[in-house]
Each structure stands twice: as C-alpha cells, then as structure tokens.
Amino acid sequence: MSRWFREVGDVSRFPAGSVVAIGAFDGVHRGHLSLLAGASARARQRGLSAVALSFEPLPREFFARGEPPARLTPARMRYQMLCQAGVDAVGLLRFNQALASESAAGFVERVLVRGLSARLVCVGPQFRFGHQRSGDIALLRQLGTKHGFDVDVADTVVDGAGQRIGATAIRQALAAGDLAAAQAALGRPYALAGRVIHGKRLGRELGYPTANLAVRFKPALQGIFAVRVTGAGLQDYPGVASLGTRPTVGGGPLVLEAHLFDYAGDLYGQRLRVDFIARLRSEERFDNLADLVAQMDIDARRARELLAGGRPAPNDARLTTD
C-alpha cells in the first residue's frame, strides 16, 4: 500500500528525491490517470519515488464556505484510487488559511523542495498555485531552474468529441443524469463507497431492505439509479439505489440507500462500492407510502431490465406502468 501524509516538514520525506504529480484529482479521471502514469514512469526511470500531491479539503470547497460545491469523490476514495494509479506515496495536504495565503514561491520552497526533495514536478496544462492562484507554469519552471527540479506538463486528454476531459464536465454530466458520458471520461462507472450504517429499517418494512451509506459531502448527482455493488464478497451485484434526502418519510441528511436484488445477507459494518449504471428518475415526494412502494416496484423492475441489457429509462422521467 502507498504511504500517505497530511503535512510536510523541514526534513524531507524523500531524501533520495521524488517525482511529484500535483492536482486536485477529484474523481481521478482519465486526464488525472494520464498525468499520474507519466509521473510514475518518469520516477521509475530515475529511480525516484512517485508522489501524488493533493489537498483536503479541496481548495474550491475551502473558498466556498457555507455553500460547498459538488465533489466527485470523498477523501478516502480519492486516496484509494490514487494508490491504485501506481504511485509510491499520496499527500493530502490540509488546505487551510495558512496554505491558502502562502505565496507561490513559498509553496515551492517549503513543500516541493524542503518537504519532498522534488526532482521533477508533473502538472496539468491548467495548473495554477499559490496565493490567489498567482503562480502559473512559467513561474513553476523558473522556480524549478532555481531549485533544481524539472517541470513536465501533461498533454490534454480529450473525449471522443475532442473536448477536454475535466472534473467540471464530469460533474455537469452527472447532474444531467448522463452517466454514460461520465463513465467515458472517468474510464469506469461513477461510484461512491462507504461503510454500511444502521437506518430506520423502513425499507425492510416496505419490502425493499437497503444497505445505507452516509454521504458527508455534496454529491454531483441525486435521484434513483440502477446500480452494481461490490464488497463484502459481492462483485458487480445488481440493484437499485436512491441517493437523496427521503422526502416522503420526513426528509433528513443525504443517504445512499442500495437495494440488492434477491439478497438476504447481513451487510452492516461492511464497506461497499456502489457503481451508478443509469439514472432512472429524480427523487420526489409521494403523498403516501402506498404510492411510494408502487413507484419503487416500477424502479426495481426497470433497473432489473436495464442491468440485464435492456434500454435505459429516460432521464428525469417518472416511470409508469402503461
């Protein structure tokens, strides 16, 4: 497993030198993976450690206090995906007021030079850094010449239509229910993961027992979905899931409720990954539980059909039985 750290100090974590890939890495999409693969390959060639350097919270969240923007992946998932990308270490620096106020030159000297002994820094073409995003790639190159590290700018990765793959476009696709576009940009189905928590057991009473996962950030999508679930001995297990606030039963905090078809095991306390395959409809409030169950029957049937190879349901359409 890759090493991880939250801070750097005056003593380098990699005294023999490192190749550092820097980014928000929200979603760890195909563009990020290309950047990380390049950094890892260059590190192997030079006999150095490959480091993925990111931030938690994400800078865009820090600067949007009170109204957090949607994010693609929680910190734990992001760390796990960065590890799977083949780096030797992952840094999730605490993004606070001190870091936000640090000059571009100060960040380079403190973090990259003293803290990580960077010999090569790999960034994306849109990279900015330092107080008020004052640093750009040209400045990074100048500082690299001063401090003895090279700078590599990754090529832009585009989709089939020639559009740049980025987290913003993926968030927009998810918000619109276009899971196919999100999957193409991510290189895998969009997913959330977490530990199964105890709920009110209402789903069991209604004939749809669910594995509930708390969502402690603003997700890029909400609604009802056909899903596949992995974990606790399961692999791509079919189901239907709701991601929302449960308005019919009084509302509450965001929760991901996944009903696994024809499954009777105990999943409490287990870690699961839920892959979102297709969006069925928006979450809505029903006048009574009978109407809710009738719609759940339709959702489950449609999800079964879709996961068995049927056509996806239209986005944001309430399904009917006729």
* CATH number for 287: 2.40.30.30
**31: closest CA among 157, 135, 115, 147?**
157
**Does residue 58 fall inside a structural domain?**
yes
pTM comes to 0.90
The enclosing H or E element of 54 equals strand 49-56
Instruction: Let me know whether 139 and 85 are in one domain.
Output: yes
* pLDDT score at 315: 45
Last residue of a domain, one of 129, 153, 177: 153
The domain boundary residue, chosen from 92, 122, 153: 153
Q: Is residue 48 part of a domain?
A: yes
Please count the other Cβ atoms lying within 10 Å of the Cβ belonging to residue 27.
25
Residues 220 and 142 in one domain: no
Residues 28 and 138 in one domain: yes
The pLDDT tens digits of the residues spanning 259-299 come to 999 998 889 999 999 999 999 999 999 888 899 999 999 99
Q: Do residues 24 and 99 share a domain? A: yes
Q: What is the pLDDT of residue 317?
A: 39
pLDDT tens, 83-133? Answer: 999 999 999 999 999 999 999 999 999 999 999 999 999 999 999 999 999
Number of domains in the chain: 2
Q: Quick check: is 136 in a domain?
A: yes
Tell whether 140 and 255 lie within a shared domain: no
Distance from C-alpha of 235 to C-alpha of 41, rounded to nearest angstrom: 31
Position 38 in a domain:
yes
pLDDT of 318: 43
- Written as tens digits, the pLDDT of the chain (322 aa) is 468 999 998 899 999 999 999 999 999 999 999 999 999 999 999 999 999 999 999 999 999 977 889 999 999 999 999 999 999 999 999 999 999 999 999 999 999 999 999 999 999 999 999 999 999 999 999 999 999 999 999 999 998 888 899 999 999 999 999 999 999 999 999 999 999 998 776 666 677 899 999 999 999 999 999 999 999 999 999 999 999 988 877 778 899 999 999 998 889 999 999 999 999 999 999 888 899 999 999 999 999 999 998 554 444 434 332 2
Burial 136-172 (b: 16+ CB within 10 A, else e): ebebbeebbeeeebebebbeebeeeeeeebbbebbbe
The pLDDT score that the predictor gives to residue 66 is: 78
> Residue 147: its pLDDT value, please?
98
Let me know whether 21 and 130 are in one domain: yes
pLDDT of residue 210: 92
Q: For position 201, what pLDDT does the model report?
A: 67
Tell whether 273 is covered by a domain: yes
Domain membership flag for residue 101: yes
Q: In this structure, are 147 and 20 located in the same domain?
A: yes
CATH code of the domain containing 90: 3.40.50.620
Same domain? 14 vs 133: yes
Q: What pLDDT score was predicted for residue 322?
A: 25
136 and 14 within one domain: yes
Query: To 10 degrees, what angle do helices 167-175 and 179-186 make?
Result: 160
Looking at the domain assignment, is residue 171 inside a domain? no
Q: What is the DSSP letter of 241?
A: E
Residue 318 lies in a domain: no
* Domain span at 244: 192-307
Which residues fall within 8 angstroms of residue 22, CB to CB, at 6 or more apart? 53, 54, 121, 122, 123, 127, 129
Q: Quick one: pLDDT at residue 160?
A: 82
Among 96, 127, 153, the domain-final residue is: 153
